[in-house]
Amino acid sequence: MGGARTALFCWAFAKRLGGRFMIRIEDTDAARSSDESARGILDDLAWLGLEWDDGPTLAVGHGARERTLGAGSRAVGPFFQAQRVDAARKEATARKATFKYPRPADVVPGVAPTARVARAEAGEAHVVRFVMPGEGISVKDEVLGEVKFAAGEVDDFVIRKADGLPTYHFAVVIDDELMGVTHVLRAQEHLINTPRHVALQRALLRLVDDRDAGKGTTGAGFRTPRFAHMPLISNMDGSKMSKRDKAKAGRKALKDALAKGSDVLTMAGQCGVEAAALQEFAEGENDRIDLAQAVAKQFKVALPEIEVWDYRESGYLPEAVINFLSLLGWNPGQKTADGKDLEKFDHAFLAENFSLERIGKQAAKFDRQKLLSFNADALMGLSDAALESRLRGWAAEHRPELAARLATQPAERLAGLVRMAKPRCKTLADFERVIAFALVRDGNVVIDPAARVKVEAAAGWREHVVAFRGLLAGLEPFTPAGLEAALAALASERGVKLGEVAQSVRVALTGTTVSPPLGEALAALGRASSLARIDRLLA
């Protein structure tokens, strides 16, 4: 969701200024990059309605990136053994200090490392590391203002890995220049990357100037885009919102089960996972999402929704998600007619009114209850026909079995079910629960044992139900209001409370003691199904 918020602000900023919104999939991590993950990102953005002007096909190939700075005076090939670097990192951690790469004594900023280049060209395994300049770097940020990084605050960093691939830092600087990027909007957690990128841009600028010296060219080289670093997104308790929140929830469920006397081996079998991996998960040695999901499914625990896909699957509407995300760190600064802060608006409003000046500096709290409220309002704002269409589309993608059941419903009946459930649902997933009783065949309604006990314990329940059935057979019009009135009149006539009649009928219709208002449930089912279910209860 944090990445979606970043994309949204970039989209809105580009639209406001008549610019181009670019999506670029960084593929410098060969182990983590895949076509599947890229498609997932693009699919989520398309679902949110964020159409991009330039797409991944415009990305520059690795070869061009590698050639650009291959012989630069700031690029060095350090031959430190990995063990020495790891040892230095562990030592810094023990001192509770920030680890900095220990620059070799023979590396001097601005001096070409000819000996190291020769070793690299001879085939010795190496990475290429960029030597940060000796002076500080100042960045004018559109949100944070002037941000200064002192000399030595940022350590030297790898720009080409041992496998020959460029790192993110190097690739992104090359791509920004060659793709004409003028503005970079990203989260504040990337602020530490900015001095690295600016230093690279300046080094590449000098490199181009040196190469072109004497040719009469001016102004050639790499530009520094304008940066805007947006506030981080946190949970309501102030903790960082992360995919690991899913692992935390799953781990808690696992530990609760262990505390009650269960064991990892047994639970691994129940969850269908390896015992060793589950043991590591319980001890916090891995945060595998698949293990969290397996545990959550076994113990019927809901994992927190973190990614865009989670909210899609849970039945949120993209316009509600966009509306909510836009308020995470930004506000339009406008009031409603009654003097309240304007919070409800659409894509078009955001594209017309977004500005960097109204982005805040403090962390934005991700209020899931507020998002749920936004979604409920968005559902209510849809016409019944539009809502039914959204429900069918969502079910087809996420609940195939539900989609199949919806397809078997007569058009008038399904419209009535959607209309009945609409005020009682905050997500599309809620519809599955609210209308489930009506999607079961009349002869397949399963009566909950506890509900059966309650019905049979009520004095005169059969006589009440028989009397009400007689009313239903000829009642006109067969509407919620008419049905509720008939039910109330019957209870009054028989001198009993309304619930003494209604509860038995409710169990007949749904198999449980919980349902939407009885008149609406009866009307949604229709006369024939209602009578059939009552007859089955009586039998």
| DSSP of 53-98 | SB-GGGPPPHHHHHHHTTT-TTEE-----HHHHHHHHHHHHHTT--
**Distance in Å from the first CA to the final CA of the chain:** 53
The pTM score is: 0.84
Return the closest-CA partner of residue 228 out of 410, 358, 66.
358
Please tell me the least confidently modeled range out of 30-44, 102-116, 239-253, 313-327: 102-116
Structural domain count, the chain: 3
- 130 has a pLDDT exceeding 60: yes
Tens digits of residue pLDDT in 47-64: 999 999 988 753 333 333
Q: How far apart are CA 495 and CA 23, in angstroms?
A: 70
Instruction: Classify residue 41: in a domain, yes or no.
Output: no
For the segment 495-510, the average pLDDT, to the nearest whole number, is 91
- What is the predicted pLDDT for the residue at 73? 37
- 224 has a pLDDT exceeding 50: yes
Q: How confident is the model at residue 125 (pLDDT cuts 50, 70, 90)?
A: confident
Tens digits of residue pLDDT in 362-399: 999 999 999 999 999 999 999 999 999 999 999 999 99
Return the closest-CA partner of residue 538 out of 431, 476, 445.
445
Instruction: Classify residue 267: in a domain, yes or no.
Output: yes
Tens digits of residue pLDDT in 443-484: 999 999 999 999 888 888 999 999 999 999 999 989 999 999
Which residues, 6+ apart, have CB-to-CB distance to 73 below 8 Å?
110, 111, 112, 207
Q: How confident is the model at residue 271 (pLDDT cuts 50, 70, 90)?
A: very high
CATH of the domain at 187: 3.40.50.620
For the segment 133-155, the average pLDDT, to the nearest whole number, is 93
Q: Which residue has the higher pLDDT, 153 or 215?
A: 153
Which residues, 6+ apart, have CB-to-CB distance to 94 below 8 Å?
none
Q: Which two tokens stand for residue 486?
A: 């008939």
Q: Which residue has the higher pLDDT, 25 or 83?
A: 25
- Where among 175, 203, 230 does a domain terminate? 230
- 112 has a pLDDT exceeding 60: yes
Return the closest-CA partner of residue 510 out of 488, 525, 490.
525
211 and 100 inside one domain: yes
Instruction: Classify residue 268: in a domain, yes or no.
Output: yes
Instruction: Classify residue 328: in a domain, yes or no.
Output: no
Q: Which residue has the higher pLDDT, 99 or 199?
A: 199
Q: How far apart are CA 342 and CA 335, in angstroms?
A: 5
- What is the predicted pLDDT for the residue at 106? 75
Q: What whole-number percentage of the chain has pLDDT above 70?
A: 92
Domain of residue 108 covers: 60-230
- What is the predicted pLDDT for the residue at 81? 55
List 75's β-bridge partners, or say none: 130
157 and 262 inside one domain: no
Q: What whole-number percentage of the chain has pLDDT above 90?
A: 66
Q: How far apart are CA 413 and CA 73, in angstroms?
A: 75
Q: CB-hemisphere CA count at 13 Å for 94? A: 6
240-244, 373-377, 518-522: range with highest mean pLDDT: 373-377
Q: How confident is the model at residue 86 (pLDDT cuts 50, 70, 90)?
A: confident
Q: Using an 8 Å Cβ cutoff, are 151 and 135 in contact? A: yes
Q: Which residue has the higher pLDDT, 22 or 57?
A: 22
516 and 470 inside one domain: yes
Please tell me the least confidently modeled range out of 122-126, 247-251, 357-361, 437-441: 122-126
226 and 269 inside one domain: no
- What is the predicted pLDDT for the residue at 37? 81
DSSP H or E run through 485: helix 480-494
- Where among 199, 230, 261 does a domain terminate? 230
Q: How confident is the model at residue 207 (pLDDT cuts 50, 70, 90)?
A: low
- 144 has a pLDDT exceeding 50: yes
188 and 249 inside one domain: no
249 and 225 inside one domain: no
Return the closest-CA partner of residue 522 out of 469, 479, 467.
479
Q: How confident is the model at residue 208 (pLDDT cuts 50, 70, 90)?
A: low
469 and 524 inside one domain: yes
Q: Which two tokens stand for residue 39?
A: 């498609």
CA distances from 243 to 60, 215, 329 (A): 30, 53, 20
161 and 257 inside one domain: no
Which residues, 6+ apart, have CB-to-CB distance to 113 below 8 Å?
76, 77, 106, 107
DSSP H or E run through 157: strand 157-160
Q: Is the peptide bond before 477 cis (omega within 30 degrees of 0)?
A: yes
Instruction: Classify residue 316: in a domain, yes or no.
Output: no
Which residues, 6+ apart, have CB-to-CB distance to 279 below 8 Å?
264
Q: How far apart are CA 499 and CA 502, in angstroms?
A: 5
CATH of the domain at 494: 1.10.10.350
- 433 has a pLDDT exceeding 90: yes
- 206 has a pLDDT exceeding 70: no
- What is the predicted pLDDT for the residue at 145? 95
113 and 141 inside one domain: yes
- What is the predicted pLDDT for the residue at 210? 54
Instruction: Classify residue 35: in a domain, yes or no.
Output: no
- Exposure class string for 115-153: b at 16+ Cβ within 10 A, else e: ebbeebeeeeebbbbbbbbeeebebebbbbeebebeeee
Q: How confident is the model at residue 240 (pLDDT cuts 50, 70, 90)?
A: confident
CA distances from 472 to 10, 16, 486, 502, 523 (A): 59, 59, 9, 13, 11
The SS3 of residue 139 is strand
209 and 255 inside one domain: no
Instruction: Classify residue 134: in a domain, yes or no.
Output: yes
Give me the chain's average pLDDT, please.
87
281 and 190 inside one domain: no
- 76 has a pLDDT exceeding 90: no
Strand pairing category for 145-149 and 233-234? unpaired
Tens digits of residue pLDDT in 281-323: 999 999 999 999 999 999 888 899 999 999 999 999 999 999 9
- What is the predicted pLDDT for the residue at 401? 95
272 and 218 inside one domain: no
Q: How confident is the model at residue 220 (pLDDT cuts 50, 70, 90)?
A: low
- What is the predicted pLDDT for the residue at 527? 93
Instruction: Classify residue 318: in a domain, yes or no.
Output: no
- Where among 169, 200, 230 does a domain terminate? 230
